[in-house]
Amino acid sequence: MTTNDLLIAGGGAPGAAAPPEPWSPAVGKVQLLEDDERHLEVRYYDVPEKCHHWTLPREFAQDLVRWWVEQGCTQTPRGGLLPEQSFGRIYVSLLSHTQIYFRGSDALGRPNITGYQFPRAVVEALAAHFLGSSR
């Protein structure tokens, strides 16, 4: 059985939430699941029955939240590329009204080739998760 099958069946990791029922109006809903001590699974439902999901290192998520609180949420989105900003183990290079794009780095601090493009709602949910309050 896959992790998703276990979650749907009600099993899975302790504290893991089951995904919303396929027919529920969970548009714009964000779920954060603890994959293990070092990773988070992020699920974003932008339309009914469609889920975008990412697994990312907890350290990247925490750095993204730190960037968001210290700089990102106060910047006026220009709808385009930013000068690439290094923040902890991540590099943020795009901020728009709806999306944030960032890349992680390896143990030597070199940027990864691929990155993550998160809806703004996901970043706000991560901030609420790590800061313990909603924004």
- pLDDT tens-place string over residues 64-93: 999 988 876 766 655 566 677 888 999 988
The C-alpha R_g of the chain, in whole angstroms, comes to: 15
In the chain, where are the structural domains located?
3-131
Long-range contacts of 90-95 (CB under 8 A, 24+ apart): 90/60, 90/63, 90/64, 91/115, 92/64, 92/67
- Which residue ranges of the chain lie beneath pLDDT 50? 1-15, 20-26, 134-135
> pLDDT at position 86, please?
87
* pTM value surpassing 0.75: no
Which structure tokens are listed for 103?
A: 């890349």
How many whole angstroms separate alpha carbon 39 and alpha carbon 41? 7
Task: Report the interhelical angle of 120-131 vs 58-70 (nearest 10°).
Answer: 100
